[in-house]
Structure 1
Amino acid sequence: MADSNADMTEKSNAQMRQQSAISSRGQQQELNEKTDAQVRQQSAASNLGERRKLEEENCYESTAFAFDNWKKWLILTAVFYCQISMNFNAAIYANGVPGMAEDFGETENTIRLGQMAFLLAYAFGCELWAPWSEELGRFWVLQASLFLVNIFQLPCMFATNFSTVLAARILGGLSSAGGSVTLGIVADMFEPMDQQYAVLYISYASCAGSVIAPIAGGFVEAYLSWQWVFYLQLILGVVAQTAHYFVVPETRSSVMLDKTARRRRKAGIAQKPGSEPSDMTLFGPNEFKGNFLERTDFKECRDLMWRPYHFLLTEPIVAFLSLLSGFSDALIFTGLNSFGMVLTLWGFGAVPTAKIFFSSLLLGYTLGAVFFIPFFRRNTKAIERGNGQLSAIKPEARLLPLLFTSVLLPLGLLGFGFSALGPPLVPHWIIPQVFIVLIGIANLAIYVATIDYMVAAYGAYCASATGGNGFCRDFLAGIAALYVNPLYSNIMPGTKWQLVIPTLILCLPAILLVIPVFIFWQWGEWFRKRSKFAESIAKEREEKKPARDEAVIKSRDVSRMVTVTDVPHTAMDSVSHGLNSELDEWDSRS
């Protein structure tokens, strides 16, 4: 019996020793695996540095630049609609002024403060949203903007006094991201050498929204209550936000690269196939600078938000071209009130006035957009001849279309002014429409060409440069709501010159503001060389060009790139050919 107990005890001890050995080996193996992982990570960190920054040139295929062309233009179409909605909000308010004045017991001039307040707040709102879109990404910033604008339509719709409308309009204007973000999306997806058509597309939407609004608003003013002005804004806004949510992905490169770096670090730690130990030390551009609080200190936010105004005050190119752009846009908002006064000379009411005048403006915008196509094709060919180098054409070449179209602004004002003499001196109402078309061509051309030139001249700083442009357009358009009625009502009232002299007065600043276009065309390079921003961008482009070109070539099949030779022949080809032959003498300047 004793021997049996001894055998059992010995077997039990043997099993315990075996289990202990197995457990010890398992712990040792686990420890070895952890140690190996730490060694690999430490080795990568020691060989490649503690943190490596993922640049666009190193991961070009993960940025919006590498999107297929069809995807880029689908995104742009959704953004196009968003831009129309934003500008629609600014312009249609004028059609609700008479109804609100009657219901609230206020004068029409007082009610027009709502339009001025929205546009002035819009001017500052664009600059407030832009830096955050560069830090947090375009998608959620634009979603937040569209959502807030839609929310602030509700107090206006159910307002019982003007103070409520005014407060909601100010908040709605501040909530509007506008062109600072939509043009940023263009810059996210297109290289400077091939972004001209995209800039034209979004710029056309910005201008078109301001004239579609009074066309629709004319019907609202004639047949519906003033609340429908805000109902329409909300309907368009909800559709725009929905389209943006489902169609437009994130396009900001730094945010996309942050996501790529996080994915590669996760794959590296998990030792997934295709990953490298070095991936564990890889960080995106924003991550590399630290967490959100570290990146968004007060000084950096202050500098980012002040930069557009700094450009506007210290850069002659930005200052003068932005003033021209702002003045031309202010004329459109001046026309929201003055155009109707002129057509009453021929007996037209609110709806025909809206349809006739603003359809003429829309025609002018369309003709202006078509006018740019031969110039864009010419620039594309020049870049192709220069082996794809953006430096193959000077930035001043982007101003060439403006030499022909900017003069149409004072000419259109001059003709429109004298046509306001009305019958019998001006026999037909079509005559003022011709001059409105000229003003429309000039307005679109000024916006597109100045934006295009600033993007080419200021590169990475273009958001600040174009931000100054957008600020002037919204700010001066807002100021127009204050002076338009006194201007057209108090100068020689009751005489045939009442509607003529105010327009001729506006013609004088138009002439003065057009002059800098010709100065910058001739001596723009001189101004750029004396700008620390433009000069630093030129040097940076030269330094990064080899790596950038290699990244672009690797990311896309060059044979599938859409160039001027890929575009089907249309009726415009003959126009393009004829105009290009006339422009050959300018080649040496470009």
Structure 2
Amino acid sequence: MDRFHHDSDRAKADDSSSIADGVSLSRRRYSQGGPPGNDSIELERINTYRLQQQLTVGSRGSRIPQDQWLPIGAGKPYPPPLPDSEAYVVEFEGADDPMHPHNWPMKKRVILGSLLTSCALVTAYGSAVFATAASGAEKEFGFGEEVAALGTTLYVLGFSAGPTVWAPSSELLGRRWPLLLGMFGFDLFMIATATAKDTQTLMLCRFFAGFCAASIIALVPASLSDVFNNHQRGVAIAMYTMSVFTGPFTAPFIGGYTASSYLGWRWTLYVPAIVGFFCLALIVFFTTETYAPIILVQKAAILRRQTRNWGIHARQDELEIDFKELVTKNLARPFLILFTEPIAFLLTLYMSFIYGLAYALLEAYPIIFEGTYGMTGGTAGLPFIGLIIGEIAGSTFVLSLSGRYSRKLAANNYVAVPEWRLPPCIVGGAVFAGGLFWFGWTGWNSNIHWMAPTAAGVAVGFGLTSIFMQCFNYILDTYSKFAASAFAANTMMRSMVGAVFPLFTRQMFNNLGIQWAGTLLGCIAVVMIPIPLMFYLFGGRLRQKSKLAPVMDLMPPAEEDIKEA
């Protein structure tokens, strides 16, 4: 019995030592300067997430005192520990293991990515569609514009609250179940909103619809990171970014025409629920788990049944749910990343402003195109097409640079340097700021053709997409092992900002005037342009000091740029 306890303690100590070695591994590689071989890079790519497990609930063994251990039963003594516990841990079989999501057939990965981004499109659409239903709801329930704005605000606040549950769940249970539960909850609460009989039910259901939809918004980027490698991820994130912003910008004209038709305002809410149920069915039947540690759990279960050796397990099986650790590690990790990592905080601050502007435009466009130009109903939502065209242009611009990025990646032995993602973001920031000035100073006077502020939306959409695509990729490259928590932190903060902006946008544009409100927002955008530039120049140094963003670069970005030039 004593030998059993002694060996168990020794195993825990050895495991802690190996994890500590793993945390510093990437820094040693950087400092040594010599590029490792392709095999070691690929094996690092498909590792079993030792660092993540060390910072995950229950990773340090049982908290139950030994004198409270349950007996084996029938008078049996405790068995000795496994002779070599490491030999019983399931791993991936080399760099080309077909079980690893990066090695799945491209058709399977494309289908999965398409389904997930479709879900993101539907849930993002749901965030903005209530604005088109507001006038009908106001007449039926007797509330004013300020209360109507809460329909959007509470939904986006749900976006902010949801990741505190969905992200930790995905790192314990995998991506699939949180995504399925979140999508199902979104559908149910959208139907509940559409059938609401009073204002309280309407607003409460809007919040919980957003809370459930947050599982899609926060976990889809992590799932895409699971299945696409650095070379392929750019296209996947482009599709996700497009879906996140195309959804809200299509809602004004689709929802506007629906609300003004014989269907009425309630059908603006039924439509995303029906489409959401269709997407849910496709996910159930055509997707599988993408999170590598959970895939290893499934592999271990198969091997146990095949070999009848019940000692075979995955590292994820070693985790023990402990409430204290659940709070201090998993639930707290998004806040830890947000408030202790300068990269995460400043990028999230920048993205929050951009995201808030996206929802502010949902209030500003009606002021301009209904107030200044006299448009009505769904027609007033058509100028949002300019924003969508800009998003397509921004995505095309970023993807056109993917060949250059791929050449850098190959020259660096397929180790990604996150700062390589940022130049398009810097360009997008400048275009975005210019678009806001353009929008403000062309939309205030009906003598200026309505096409002028609509065209300004192209510049705004271009900048918005360029910024978000590359910031998403930068976060994924920097916090790859904690992608779900990193995106949870990002989603929480930017959703809080996005929830607040609609509450004061109408008052700001009415009191300052359209031109000066646009100028104010443009000036703030100009002030924030240096943020991605700063990370492009100094991001590598910040990552070297981070405990959660291991540095694997083989050469700094500036050195690589000089070499390529």
Aligned to 1:102: 139
CA displacement 1:511-535 (0-9 Å, x = unmatched): 122221111112222222222222x
Match of 1:187? 225
**Map 1:487-498 → 2, pairs under 5 A:** 487-491=508-512, 498=513
1 CA distance for matches of 2:560 and 2:312? 52
Q: Which runs of 5+ in 2 are unaligned?
A: 1-78
Hey, what does 1:529 align to over in structure 2? Answer: 544
Contact persistence 1:45–1:51 (CA under 8 A): no
Structure with greater helix share of residues: 1
> Relative to 1, partners in 2 of residues 1:587 and 1:226: Cα closer, same or farther, differing over 3 Å?
farther
Tell me the CA shift for residue 508 of structure 1. Answer: 2.2
How many Å separate the matches in 2 of 1:234 and 1:499? 35
Summarize the Cα distance change of 1:311–1:417 in structure 2 as closer, same or farther, 3 Å threshold. Answer: same
Contact 1:118 1:170 (C-alpha < 8 Å) held by counterparts:
yes
Could you tell me which residue of structure 2 aligns to residue 509 of structure 1?
524
Structure showing greater Rg: 1
Alpha-carbon deviations, 1:405-463, whole Å to 9, x = none? 11112111111111023233x2x211111211111011111111111111222221333
Query: 1:10-47, CA deviations, whole angstroms, 9 ceiling, x for partnerless residues?
Result: xxxxxxxxxxxxxxxxxxxxxxxxxxxxxxxx99953x
Q: For residue 306 of structure 1, what is the aligned residue in structure 2?
A: 332
Are residues 1:53 and 2:89 paired? yes
Q: Distance in 2 between matches of 1:121 and 1:95?
A: 19
Q: CA offset at residue 267 of structure 1?
A: 1.0
Question: Is the partner of 1:348 in helix, strand or coil?
Answer: coil
Distance 2:230 2:324 in 1: 31
Q: Distance in 2 between matches of 1:519 and 1:240?
A: 40
Matches within 5 A, 1:85-96: 85-96=122-133
Task: Tell me which of 280, 293, 299 is aligned to 1:260.
Answer: 299
Match of 1:434 in 2: 455
Which of the numbers 154, 170, 188 marks the counterpart of 1:117? Answer: 154
Distance 2:387 2:305 in 1: 55
- Equivalent residue runs for 1:17-416 within 5 Å: 45-46=82-83, 48-49=84-85, 52-56=88-92, 60-176=97-213, 177-223=215-261, 224-269=263-308, 280-289=310-319, 294-344=320-370, 345-355=372-382, 357-387=383-413, 389-391=414-416, 394-416=417-439
* Matched-pair contact (CA < 8 Å) for 2:426–2:467: no
Distance in 2 separating the partners of 1:50 and 1:339? 61
C-alpha contact 1:261 1:283 (8 A) present in aligned 2: yes
- Does the CA-based 8 Å contact 2:171-2:484 persist in structure 1? no
Separation in structure 1 between the aligned mates of residue 351 and residue 563 of structure 2, nearest angstrom: 28
Divergent runs of 4+, >6 A: none
Matched, 1:418 2:428: no
Q: Deviations over 1:160-200 (max 9, x none)?
A: 21101011112222222132211121121123343222122
Contact 1:131 / 1:304 at 8 angstroms: preserved in 2? yes
1:517 and 1:190 map into 2 onto residues whose CA distance is 24
Check conservation: 2:439, 2:453, Cα contact below 8 A: yes
- 1:111 and 1:162 in contact (8 A); partners too: no
Evaluate the alpha carbon distance shift between residue 106 and residue 197 of structure 1 in structure 2; reply closer, same or farther with a 3 A threshold: same
Inter-CA distance 586–350: structure 2 relative to 1 (3 Å threshold): farther
**Range moving further from structure 2, 375-384 or 161-170:** 375-384
* CA distance in 1: counterparts of 2:366 and 2:111, whole angstroms: 37
Partner letter of residue 121 of structure 1? G
Q: 1:533 is paired with a residue of what secondary structure?
A: coil
Q: Aligned partners of 1:145 and 1:205: how far apart in 2?
A: 17
Contact 1:364 1:437 in 2 (8 A): yes
Relative to structure 2, which stretch is displaced further, 82-91 or 63-72? 63-72
Q: Is the 8 A contact 1:123 1:474 kept in 2?
A: yes
CA distance in 2, matches of 1:104, 1:370: 44
Q: 1:162 to 1:218 in 2, by over 3 A?
A: same
Asked if the contact 1:125/1:175 (under 8 Å) is kept, the reply is yes
Q: CA deviation at 1:280?
A: 4.5
Match of residue 16 from structure 1: none
Distance 1:50 1:382 in 2: 37
SS in 1 for 2:197: coil
Contact 2:218 2:491 in 1 (8 A): yes
When the two structures are aligned, how many residues end up with a matched partner?
480
| Mapped partners of 1:448, 1:147: distance in 2 | 27
Distance 1:467 1:56, change over 3 A: farther
Tell me the distance in 1 between the aligned counterparts of 2:457 and 2:564. 32
Is this contact kept in 2: 1:325–1:472, CA < 8 A?
no
Distance, in Å, in 2 between the alignment partners of 1:299 and 1:335 is 41
Q: Could you tell me how far 1:57 is from its partner in structure 2?
A: 5.5
**Matches of 1:511 and 1:148, distance apart in 2:** 39
Measured after TM superposition, the shift of residue 56 of structure 1 is 3.6
Cα distance 1:155–1:585, how it changes in 2: closer, same or farther (>3 A)?
closer
2:479 is paired with a residue of what secondary structure?
A: helix
The CA deviation at 1:370 is: 0.4
Structure 1 residue 322 displacement after superposition: 1.1
Opposite residue 201 of structure 1, the aligned amino acid is: M
Any idea what SS the aligned residue of 2:159 has?
Answer: helix
- Letter of the 2:460 partner, please give it: I
Aligned in 2, Cα 1:423/1:156: closer, same or farther, shift over 3 Å?
A: closer
Maintained 8 Å contact 1:92/1:229: yes
Is the CA contact 1:126–1:178 (under 8 Å) kept in the aligned structure 2? no
CA–CA distance in 2 between the matches of 1:321 and 1:511?
15
TM-score (norm 1): 0.77
- Residues 523, 200 of structure 1: CA spacing in aligned structure 2 closer, same or farther, 3 A cutoff? same
- What's the offset of the Cα at 1:258? 0.9
**Partner AA of 1:396 in structure 2:** E
Distance in 2 (alpha carbons) for counterparts of 1:319 and 1:589: 31
CA deviations 1:226-283 (Å, max 9, x no partner) are: 11121112112111111111111111111211111111111112xxxxxxxxx55320
Give the superposition deviation at 1:506: 1.5
Q: CA deviation at 1:296?
A: 4.8
Inter-partner Cα distance in structure 2 for 1:49 and 1:419? 69
The structural deviation recorded for 1:538 is 2.3
1:70 match: secondary structure: helix
Residue pair 2:141, 2:199 contacting (<8 A) in 1 also: yes
Is 1:452 matched with 2:468? no
Q: Give the drift of 1:72.
A: 0.3
Contact kept, 8 Å, 2:408 with 2:560, in 1: the verdict is no
List runs of 5+ in structure 1 lacking aligned partners: 1-41, 270-278, 492-497, 543-582
CA contact (8 A) 1:192 1:455 kept: no
